Amino acid sequence: MGSREGLPRSTTTAGADKRGRGRVSARKARERILLVCAALILLFAPSDVYVIGHFSWSPLIVRLEWAGSVLVTVLALRKVEPHGVPIVLSALAILSTVLYGALAWLTGGTSSPLFHWILALPIVIALVLPDVPGAAVGCGVVLLIYGGLLLGWAGEPIAGIVRWMAQAVVVTSLVYTVAATYRRLRMRETPAPDAQDVAMARVRASEAAVAARDEFLAVAAHELRTPLTSMLLHIEAIERTLPTDAAHAQSVHVPPTEQKRIAAVARQARRLSGLIDSMLDVSKLTGGHLSLELAEVDITALVREIVHRFAPDAAAAACPLTLRLDQPIVGVLDATRLDQIMTNLIANALKYGAGAPIEIGVEGDEQVVRLTVRDHGIGISPADHKRIFLRFERAADERQYSGAGLGLWITNELVRALGGRISVHSTPGAGASFTVVLPRRPTTLIERRRSAGRPTGG
C-alpha cells in the first residue's frame, strides 16, 4: 500500500502581468483620444466653407494632412520604444500648431474664428497629451512666432503684438506648469515603467538562470549516478574478497598497501555517491518534484536497522552508539525519507562528535513520533542554530570538517514535507542534540501541512 505526494514550486509574475496590462490599456486610451481628434479635425471641415463663404480645396487638404499626421503618429507610437514616445508626441503637437495656423491663415488670417481661439491651442494640447509637458511648450513656441508674424502682417501696432505675445507666453507657461506638476505626481505614484521593465527583466533572467542550473544539476547527477552505481558494486565485490580486520591482512594474496588503497577508493566512491544523491535531492526539492511514498512503517525497527548500518563507521570514529527505544512505534510515512533524515543526522553526529558517545532515541505518543540524535562533539553556537538549516550554510571550520552545507537543508525540507519539524539544542563545546517530531498518520500530516501552508496530496 502506498500513496504519492508531489510538492509544486510557486513562482509569481502576477504583478508584472498587471503592470504590463496597465501600460497596454494606457496606450489604447491614448490611441482612442488621438483617433477622436483626427475625426473632429475632419468633422469641422464644413465650418471652413461657412467662414470663407464658399468651398475651397486648400483648407480641406490641410485638414486631411492634419488628420493623416495624427493617424501616422498612432501607428508610429506602436513601434517606438517607451523613451521615444514624448518626442513623437511633441513633434505631433508642433505640426498640429503649424497646420492649425495654416488653417487660420486660409480662413481669414487674424479675422478668422480659428485665430480668435488660437491661444487655447496649448490648453487643448495639454488636455489631449496630459503627461507630455514638452508638447505644450513646442506648441507655445510655434504659436508665438506664428501669431507675431500674422499680427504684424495684418498691420497690428507693436504694442498690440507685444500684448498678444505676452498672453501667449502666460498661457503656455501656465499650461506647462500644470502639465509638469501632473506628470511629476503620476511618476511619484508609480515607478518609471523603464525601471519596472528592467527590474522585471532581471527577475525573469535570474529565474531562468536558476531553473537552467537546477535542470543541469538534475541531469548531471542522474547521468553520474549510473556509472557510479556500477563502480560501487564492483568495489564492494572486491571488498568482500578482502579480510575485514588487520590481523588477517596477510592471509590473502593482495598486499596490505593495496588493500588500504582499495579501502580508500571505496570510501571516496561512497562519498561521491552521497554527494550525487544530495544533488539529486536538491534538484527535486527546488524543482518541486519530491514525491512521498506513504506506507505503514515500523519506525523503531527502521531506526534500529539504520543504527546497525552505522556500526562500522561509529567504530572507526570511536563513537559508541546507544539506542534508546520506547515501545514499538508504527507510523504511516515514507520509510526512505525517514531513513535519509536519520542517516544525515547520525552522519553529522559522527563527523562533528568523533571520539565521544552518541545517543539515538525514539519515543512517541498517539499523534507524533519524536526522534533524537545527541552527540558530545564540537557543538553549535546559538547564533548559527537557524542558519545551518539553510542551503550551503556551514558553521564548522572548513579546513577541519569537509562538507557542502546541504545535509541539514535537505533534512529540514524532508521533515517539513512529512509534516514535521526539526529543532536543535546545542552550545559550543558541549555537543548537539537534534530532535525531529513527525506526525504518525497521514491525516495529521495533511492537517499539519495545511496549517503550515504547505501543499497536500494523495
395 binds ligand ADP (CB under 6 A): yes
Q: How far apart are CA 312 and CA 305, in angstroms?
A: 13
Contact 100, 140 (CB under 8 A): no
CB of 311 to ligand ADP, least distance (A): 19
38 binds ligand ADP (CB under 6 A): no
> Judging by beta carbons within 10 Å of its beta carbon (0-12, 13-18, 19+), is residue 338 exposed, middle or buried?
buried
Closest Cα to residue 11, out of 298, 214, 251? 214
Closest Cα to residue 337, out of 261, 418, 409? 418
CB of 392 to ligand ADP, least distance (A): 8
Pick the piece of the chain touching ligand ADP (CB under 6 A) from 114-122, 163-171, 180-188, 393-401: 393-401
Cell of 410: 535537505
**Helix, strand counts (H, E) of the chain:** 15, 8
Q: Which of 7, 70, 380, 415 binds ligand ADP (CB under 6 A)?
A: 380
Q: How far apart are CA 438 and CA 417, in angstroms?
A: 10
415 binds ligand ADP (CB under 6 A): no
Our CB check for ligand ADP shows the closer of 181 and 402 to be 402
Cell of 123: 490648453
Our CB check for ligand ADP shows the closer of 59 and 353 to be 353
CB of 388 to ligand ADP, least distance (A): 4
CB of 368 to ligand ADP, least distance (A): 22
Could you tell me the CA-to-CA distances from 440 to 302, 311, 324, 457 in Å, in that order?
14, 27, 19, 16
Q: In sequence order, which residues have a C-beta less than 8 Å from that of residue 412 and are 6 or more positions away?
A: 389, 422
Pick the piece of the chain touching ligand ADP (CB under 6 A) from 149-157, 202-210, 362-370, 401-409: 401-409
Our CB check for ligand ADP shows the closer of 175 and 424 to be 424
408 binds ligand ADP (CB under 6 A): yes
176 binds ligand ADP (CB under 6 A): no
337 binds ligand ADP (CB under 6 A): no
Contact 438, 331 (CB under 8 A): yes
Q: Which of 407, 419, 420, 442 binds ligand ADP (CB under 6 A)?
A: 407
405 binds ligand ADP (CB under 6 A): yes
100 binds ligand ADP (CB under 6 A): no
Q: How far apart are CA 245 and CA 292, in angstroms?
A: 40
CB of 305 to ligand ADP, least distance (A): 21
Pick the piece of the chain touching ligand ADP (CB under 6 A) from 46-54, 169-177, 345-353, 445-453: 345-353
349 binds ligand ADP (CB under 6 A): yes
404 binds ligand ADP (CB under 6 A): yes
Q: Which of 168, 329, 358, 396 binds ligand ADP (CB under 6 A)?
A: 396
341 binds ligand ADP (CB under 6 A): no
300 binds ligand ADP (CB under 6 A): no
Our CB check for ligand ADP shows the closer of 106 and 221 to be 221
Contact 4, 458 (CB under 8 A): yes
Q: How far apart are CA 334 and CA 345, in angstroms?
A: 17
CA angle 51, 52, 56 (to 5 degrees): 125
Radius of gyration of the chain (CA): 40
Q: How far apart are CA 274 and CA 313, in angstroms?
A: 15
375 binds ligand ADP (CB under 6 A): yes
Our CB check for ligand ADP shows the closer of 63 and 376 to be 376
Q: How far apart are CA 379 and CA 84, in angstroms?
A: 62
Q: Which of 122, 134, 138, 377 binds ligand ADP (CB under 6 A)?
A: 377
Half-sphere exposure of 6 (CA within 13 A, CB side): 6
403 binds ligand ADP (CB under 6 A): yes
Q: How far apart are CA 105 and CA 307, in angstroms?
A: 101
350 binds ligand ADP (CB under 6 A): no
- What DSSP element (H or E) covers 25? helix 14-43
Please list every residue from 426 through 445 that binds ligand ADP, using CB under 6 A: 432
User: Where do contacts with ligand ADP occur on this chain (CB under 6 A)?
Assistant: 348-349, 352-353, 375, 377-380, 388, 394-396, 403-409, 432
